[in-house]
Structure 1
Amino acid sequence: MFDIFLFIIFSGIVISLLGIGGALVDNQSAGERLLINLLFLFIGMVQISYYVWFLGVDNRFLLLHSTHLPFATAIGPLFYIFLQIILGTYKDIGWRYVLHFSPAILVTILIIPYILLPDSEKISIIEELNLGKTTKKYAIIIGHIRIFIFLQIFVYLFHFLYKTRALLNIKSFRRLEVTSFLFIIILCSMFILSFSICGMYFFEKGYYVFSHKTISISISFLVLSLYLITRKYPKTTMKVKREFDMVKYENSNLKNLNLDKIRTNLDILIEEKKIYKENELSMDKLSNLLGIGVHQLSQYLNEILKTKFYDFINHYRIIESEKLLINESNRTVLSIALEVGFNSESTFYSAFKKKWKMSPKVFRKKFRNK
C-alpha cells in the first residue's frame, strides 16, 4: 500500500544526494562546499534511519539505529552556516563555530556504549521507543537526544530569523522574490517542529511516531526547497547579500550622512593632527570633532571601515611607535608608549604584540640595525 510519508522521506534521501552533487560544482570556497556537503550528507543519513524505522524493519538493521544521532546533532549548526552562506554573511569557521558542534561530540560519547550493546538489548530498547515509552536507561537517553536535536534546529532557525529580521518587510520581498520564499520555508518548518515537539509531551504516546514522521517530512521539505532555490537561483548568495546590505543601509544611521566628508575629516584628524596621541581620546570626543553622533561613528567604524574604535586608534599608535622604537633607540619603551597615546606600558605591550607577535623590545632589537 502506498505510504505518502515514506515517499516524501525517500524523496528527501534522493534530494540530499543530489544536494551533495550540486554543492561539488558550486562557486563557493572549498570550505563552504565541504560544510554544505556535510549538511546534505548528515540529513540523508537521518532520513535513511527514519525510512528504515517507519518501514518497520529497524530491528533488522540494528547498526543503523541511533548511530545517526551524533550526525543529526550537527545538522542545526551546519544548517545555520548554510543559511549564512546563502545570505553571504558567513565567515571562515573559527572557535565561535566549532563550539556549536560540541553537543555532537557529547552525543557521540553517549551513543557509543549503546552501539556496543548486545542485539537482544537493542531490540528491547527499539520496541520500547516505538511504543513511545522511556523506562530503560538508553531509551530515555535516545528519546531526550531526539528532542534536543529538534529543539536545536528550531533554535538555530529562530536565531537566523532574528539576525535577518531587517529583511522581513514587504519592500524587500518585492525587490527580491527569493527572500520571501526563504522566510516562508523557514517559518513553515519551525511551525511543524514546534507542533511536533509539543505533541511529544502533551499528546498520548501513540503520537510519538507520528510526530517524528511530521518532523522527518519537514526536514525533507527544507532540503527540497533549499535545493530548488539554490539550483533555480544560482546567484542567490550574491543577490540576497546585496539585498541584506541594502536594507541595512536603508535603516542605517549613516543614510543621510556624507561619508566622503567623514572620511576626509577623519584623515585630517589622524594624519595631520595626530589626534590618536591623546591618551584621553574617547569616542565621544572624536564624534564631536567629526560633527556626528556617537552611534553614527560606531556604525561608520563597524560597517564602513570594518573595525572597532580602539582597534582603529591603536593601529595608528602602533605605527607611530614602530618609527620611534627604531629611530630613537635611547628612549625607554614606556616613554614611547605614553607619547603615542597609550596610558600604560602594559596596554602598549598588549596592542603591540597583537600586531607583531613580539614585544616592543624584541621588535627594536630585531629591526634597529637593518
Structure 2
Amino acid sequence: MSLDLQVHELIYLFAAFHGAFLASLIIFKRYSQENIFLFLLVLLFSFYLLESVIYSSGYIRYVPHLFFTTLPLIFLIGPLFFLYIRSSLNQTPLLWKDLIHLLPFLFEFIILLPFYSLDAETKIKVYEMMLQSSGSSGDFSIYFIGYLIYLISTFFYFLKALKLIQSASENRMKAKEKKKFSALRIVSVGFFIYVFVSLLLSGLSWSNLDVSMLSFHINLISLTLLIHTIGYIAFANPALLESLATPSDYQFSSLSSEKKKRLAEQLIASMQSKRLYLKSGISAGEVSEELGITNHELSQLLSVELNTSFYDFINRYRIDHAKEILMSKKYRDAKILHIALDSGFSNKSSFLRNFKKSTGLTPTAYKKLHKNQVPIN
C-alpha cells in the first residue's frame, strides 16, 4: 500500500496536523469554557481537511469507514463558533436549551446511518460510483446537498455571532477586553471569508460542474489559511486565549433559586433607582460589583432567571428611557445623537439599530406615531 500525494494535498495535510497541534495547545494551555469551543472548532477544521485529503487522494479505499464521517460533524461548526463568541464576550453558561444547536447534526447523522452501517466493500463501490458521476450534468449528490445546507446554516450562526460582537463593541472599554475583542474580530473576519467563499464556490459548482474540483480546492485553501490565521493570532495576541473572567467565575454557581430571584429583584431595583444603564460603556463587572456577585453569577442570573443577555438587558432600559425623552418638551428639538447619548448609548448608529430592533420604528417615526400624546415636562 503506497500513498502518492500531490503538493496541494501535502499542504492540506500539514494544515490538518497544524490544526490538531494548535487545538491541543488551546485546551491544555488556557483551559476555559470558551476555549473548549475553540478547541473543538479547530479540531473539526483539521479533521475535515484530513478526510478531504484522504478522499481526493483515493486513500479512502483503504479506510472506507471514514467516508462521509465529516458530513454530519461539519454541522457543528456554526454552533461551536456562535457558542465560542458568546462565551468569550459574556461568559454565558451552557443551558439545556442550547442542546437545540445539535439538531442539524443529529438530523444529518440519522439520515446517514444506513450508509454508515454498510460494509467496507460497498462503501468503496459508492466512492467509485461518485468518482464516475462527478462530471455528470445535474448530479445532486447527498454530499453536495448536505454541504450546501451546512454552509447556509453556518452563515446563519455567523450572523448571530456578529450581533453579539456588535453589542459588545459598544460597551467593552477595559484594555484587556479591547485586546480580546480585537483578536475575536480578526478570527470572525477570517471565519466569515471562509464561509462566504465556500457559499460562492458551491453556487459555481452547481451552475458549472467543470469548475467543481477547482471550487473544492479553493475551499480547502481557505480553510487552510483560516487554521494558520488562528494559530498566528493565538501566538501574536495571547489575549485570544485569555478569559475575561477570573478563575473562580468558572466554578459551578452556588446560587439557589431563592437567591437568584432575590438578586433579580435587586438588579431591577438598582436599574430603576440608580439608572446604571445611562452610563455609557457600563460593563458586566461594574453591575456584578454593585450586586456583590461574580461575572459568571450575573450571566447565570440574566440567562436563567431573566432569559436575556447583559447587553440586551441594559439596552432595554436605554430604549425605554429614550422613548420617554422623545415625548419630553425638553427634547422636542433635540437631535438624534443628543437623545442617544443621554440614553446611555455611545453613538448614534448603535442607538438607531437597537431602537428599531425594539420598536420596529425609527425614533422619528416613533415620535410622529405618538405625537398626539401629552408631552412629558
TM over 0.5: yes
The one-letter amino acid of 1:28's match is Y
User: Match for residue 212 of structure 1?
Assistant: 216
Q: Give the alignment's Cα RMSD to 1 decimal.
A: 4.3
* Aligned 1:1-370 pairs, distance under 5 A: 3=6, 5-29=8-32, 31-85=33-87, 87-130=88-131, 131-132=133-134, 140-166=141-167, 176=179, 178=183, 181-202=186-207, 204-236=208-240, 290=273, 304=287
| Distance change >3 Å, CA 237–CA 25, structure 1 → 2 | closer
TM-score, normalised on structure 2? 0.56
The one-letter amino acid of 1:157's match is F
TM-score, normalised on structure 1? 0.57
Structure 2 residue ranges without an equivalent (≥5): 246-264, 292-297, 307-377
Give the fraction of aligned pairs with identical amino acids, expressed as a percent: 15
Q: Is contact 2:26–2:241 with CA below 8 Å preserved after alignment?
A: no
2:54 & 2:283 partners in 1: Cα distance? 54
1:112 & 1:270 partners in 2: Cα distance? 53
Measure how far apart 1:13 and its partner are. 0.8
User: Match for residue 371 of structure 2?
Assistant: none
User: 1:112-159 deviations in whole A, cap 9, x for unaligned?
Assistant: 21022244543343234344379999x733332222222233322232
Structure 1 residue ranges without an equivalent (≥5): 242-265, 272-285, 313-370
| Distance change >3 Å, CA 234–CA 270, structure 1 → 2 | closer
Q: Is contact 1:125–1:136 with CA below 8 Å preserved after alignment?
A: no
Which secondary structure state, in structure 2, belongs to the residue aligned with residue 88 of structure 1? Answer: helix
Higher RCO structure (Cα 8 Å, ≥6 apart): 2
| Distance change >3 Å, CA 210–CA 90, structure 1 → 2 | farther
Measure how far apart 1:12 and its partner are. 2.1
| Distance change >3 Å, CA 190–CA 115, structure 1 → 2 | closer
Measure how far apart 1:81 and its partner are. 2.4
| Distance change >3 Å, CA 134–CA 96, structure 1 → 2 | farther
Q: Is contact 1:47–1:216 with CA below 8 Å preserved after alignment?
A: yes
Which secondary structure state, in structure 1, belongs to the residue aligned with residue 64 of structure 2? Answer: coil
2:243 & 2:202 partners in 1: Cα distance? 34
Q: Is contact 1:189–1:222 with CA below 8 Å preserved after alignment?
A: yes
2:201 & 2:103 partners in 1: Cα distance? 25
